[in-house]
């Protein structure tokens, strides 16, 4: 019986009982539920509560969840208390009401997952329903479609339950009313799916024969073969790709694409990732490594995720960060603070005895206390979000959107850090001028102090109410107190008159000033190329064969790769070489 038809008192009693007696079950079950990635934290907790409820009520929760699923629109938002009432019949008092809104699209996804979880929490059987119940195989046979299509329908919103069938095994099940409702909502998609019949044995052999001929005589990769056969046979690409892969897996000695049976090594994956960063498209890499475009993207995303997991992310935690609406509150506070600012804040006139480079630092205005706190709050919050999100990355199934979101948080945090550092660079200059009497020059002291400043940004706790300049001054002066006496002692004790030669030879086992060292040359090339834009780097690296894994390319080949004319490639190369000449000339004079 659905919850709406039951007595309100019964549900009030059962709801209160869960909150007290069901905590132990919820603690264990919530960990399993979290692995299924509910989009709303509130729905995750509610699903855990419903799964620990009274057994006689859980079937009603399933029916109520499916009824609510039919009402929810993807482009609307719904109060959390409304969802609780529709599922349980319990309406909290006004004093306990929340204003939490759930976006319709994410709520639909969570309801589908909740139906699956609640049905799995007790022994639900096909005999409990007076209607036809299908498993995936039976539903596919009923409409002459593949089970892959059934999976796509579930992703579109077809409700599924876990039920025991007459053979005693529990499988994913679909009620007849659920299927009928889904067909009404997605009539065009269902009709399009049912038009595709399963492959006959003759059709399958014909696809394999054509695929083998294309792979042997035209040197096509898997993606090219699949696209061509899809156009010629009228079959969807997924069907053809599945047919070829299944054949190669079952007959490895007669495989059409034997290289796909063996996974790439770490060295090849790094080559793919490095080439992708240099501007090579997934199509070119798929053709070179005899892989599909999807596998190239999968390798790139995997290595991106590995780098994110290895990367240390340190931040100063704050209790505000773990609140449900933390991001909305923090960004709203930033917008309010930004709207209050009016006009431009002029910088301080720089001292006359400073070089022009250092005088430009004084054009950046100092931060006010409220702006400083806002910057540090957002800086640490974005790093907190990046750290929390990357912990959910599964290297077995890396999602590009997840990796991209983590990288986005880190980029935003780095931008805020640069803003804080630029606003406090003059502090380093003022402290360095007081220590200039030592063995280090002013620029060496400033360089050392800048490192201390950046470390101070990472460790400053904005919640304590102090100004950052106080903390940074202490950190910079403490660093000077250690580094300046140490540098003076080393200069006095180990002065030889040949410091430059010793510095170069220190990192080498054998040093011959008359011979070229490949490591030094490679490092020098990388330093020079880092001064150029990404497109200029790609053109110089590929035209002159600076990449150790690839041969040199002509202007015409580079033009096709970048989507521009060969004349434009030549112009860009001339500009890039002129930049390098100017930089090397300035470097020699310095």
* Cross-strand partners of 135: 173
Domain 531-589, what fold? Arc Repressor Mutant, subunit A (1.10.10)
Q: Give the C-alpha distances (Å, rounded to integers) separating 270 from 30, 236, 259, 266, 293.
A: 38, 32, 18, 6, 16
CA distance 47 to 36: 12
Residue 366 is classified by DSSP as P
Residue 69's pLDDT is 93
384-393 CB contacts, 8 Å cutoff, 24+ apart:
384/315, 384/317, 384/318, 384/321, 385/321, 385/327, 385/409, 386/313, 386/410, 386/413, 387/313, 387/315, 390/305, 390/308, 390/309, 390/313, 392/37, 393/305, 393/308, 393/309
State the number of CA atoms in the 13 A half-sphere of 54 facing the CB.
13
Q: Encode 543-567 in three state secondary structure.
A: HCCCCCCCCCCCHHHHHHHHCCCHH
Domain with CATH 1.20.120.1810 in the chain: 319-495
Residue 27's pLDDT is 43
CA distance 361 to 350: 8
319-495 placed in CATH 1.10.10.1100:
no
DSSP-based three-state secondary structure for 170: strand
Q: What is the pLDDT along the chain (590 residues), one digit of tens a residue?
A: 344 444 444 444 444 444 444 444 444 444 444 445 788 988 999 999 999 989 889 999 999 999 999 999 888 999 988 999 999 988 877 666 667 889 999 999 999 999 999 999 999 999 999 999 999 989 888 887 778 788 888 988 999 999 999 999 999 999 999 999 998 888 877 776 665 666 788 888 999 999 888 888 766 778 888 888 888 887 778 788 888 888 888 888 888 888 777 778 888 888 998 888 888 888 888 878 878 788 888 899 999 999 899 988 999 998 889 888 888 889 888 888 877 765 455 556 766 766 776 777 777 778 888 999 999 999 999 999 999 999 888 888 888 889 999 999 999 999 999 999 988 988 888 888 887 766 667 778 888 888 889 999 999 999 988 899 888 888 888 887 776 665 554 444 444 444 444 444 444 444 444 444 555 566 567 667 777 887 888 888 888 777 766 677 888 888 888 888 888 888 888 888 888 777 665 444 44
Residues with Cβ within 8 Å of 417's Cβ and at least 6 positions away in sequence, in order, are: 379, 454, 457, 458
Domain with CATH 1.10.10.10 in the chain: 531-589
Residue 191's pLDDT is 73
152-156 CB contacts, 8 Å cutoff, 24+ apart:
152/193, 153/182, 153/186, 153/190, 153/193, 154/112, 156/182, 156/186, 156/189
């Amino acid at each position: 019986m659905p919850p709406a038809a039951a007595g309100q008192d019964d549900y009030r009693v059962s709801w209160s009982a869960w909150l007290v007696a069901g905590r132990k079950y919820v603690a264990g079950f919530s960990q399993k539920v979290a692995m299924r990635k509910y989009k709303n934290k509130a729905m995750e907790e509610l699903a855990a509560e419903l799964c620990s409820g009274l057994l006689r009520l859980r079937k009603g929760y399933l029916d109520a969840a499916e009824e609510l699923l039919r009402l929810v629109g993807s482009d609307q938002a719904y109060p959390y208390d409304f969802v609780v009432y529709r599922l349980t019949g319990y309406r909290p008092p006004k004093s306990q009401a929340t204003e939490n809104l759930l976006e319709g699209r994410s709520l639909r996804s969570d309801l589908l997952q909740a139906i699956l979880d609640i049905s799995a929490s007790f022994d639900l059987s096909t005999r409990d329903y007076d209607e036809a119940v299908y498993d995936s195989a039976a539903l596919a046979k009923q409409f002459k479609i593949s089970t892959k299509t059934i999976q796509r329908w579930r992703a579109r919103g077809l409700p599924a339950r876990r039920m025991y069938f007459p053979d005693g095994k529990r499988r994913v099940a679909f009620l007849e009313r659920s299927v009928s409702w889904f067909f009404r909502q997605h009539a065009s998609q269902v009709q399009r799916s049912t038009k595709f019949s399963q492959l006959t044995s003759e059709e399958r052999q014909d696809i394999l024969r054509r695929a083998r001929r294309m792979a042997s005589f035209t040197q096509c990769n898997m993606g090219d073969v699949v696209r061509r056969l899809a156009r010629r046979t009228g079959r969807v690409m997924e069907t053809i790709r599945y047919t070829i892969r299944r054949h190669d897996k079952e007959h490895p000695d007669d495989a059409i694409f034997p290289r796909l049976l063996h996974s790439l090594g770490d060295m090849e994956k790094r080559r793919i990732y490095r080439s992708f960063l240099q501007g090579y498209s997934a199509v070119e890499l798929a053709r070179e490594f005899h892989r599909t475009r999807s596998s190239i993207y999968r390798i790139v995303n995997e290595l991106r995720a590995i780098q994110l997991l290895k990367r240390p992310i340190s931040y100063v935690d704050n209790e505000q960060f773990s609140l449900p609406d933390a991001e909305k509150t923090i960004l709203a506070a930033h917008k309010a603070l930004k709207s209050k600012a009016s006009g431009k804040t002029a910088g301080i006139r720089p001292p006359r005895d400073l070089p022009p480079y250092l005088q430009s630092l004084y054009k950046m205005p100092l931060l006010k206390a409220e702006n400083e706190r806002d910057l540090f709050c957002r800086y640490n919050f974005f790093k907190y979000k990046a750290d929390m999100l990357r912990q959910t990355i599964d290297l077995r199934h890396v999602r590009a959107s997840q990796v991209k979101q983590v990288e986005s948080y880190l980029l935003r945090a780095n931008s805020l850090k640069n803003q804080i550092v630029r606003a406090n660079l003059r502090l380093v200059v003022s402290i360095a001028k007081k220590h200039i009497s030592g063995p280090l020059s002013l620029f060496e002291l400033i360089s050392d102090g800048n490192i201390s400043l950046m470390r101070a940004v990472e460790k400053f706790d904005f919640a304590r109410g102090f100004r950052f300049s106080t903390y940074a001054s202490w950190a910079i002066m403490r660093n000077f107190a250690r580094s300046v006496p140490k540098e003076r002692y080393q200069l006095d004790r180990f002065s030889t008159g040949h410091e430059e030669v010793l510095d170069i030879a220190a990192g080498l086992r054998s040093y011959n000033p008359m011979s070229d060292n490949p490591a030094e040359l490679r490092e020098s090339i990388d330093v020079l190329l880092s001064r150029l834009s990404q497109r200029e780097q790609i053109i110089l690296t590929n035209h002159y064969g600076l990449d150790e894994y690839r041969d040199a390319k002509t202007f015409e080949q580079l033009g096709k790769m970048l989507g521009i004319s060969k004349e434009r490639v030549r112009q860009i190369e001339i500009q890039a070489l002129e930049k390098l000449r100017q930089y090397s000339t300035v470097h020699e004079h310095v």
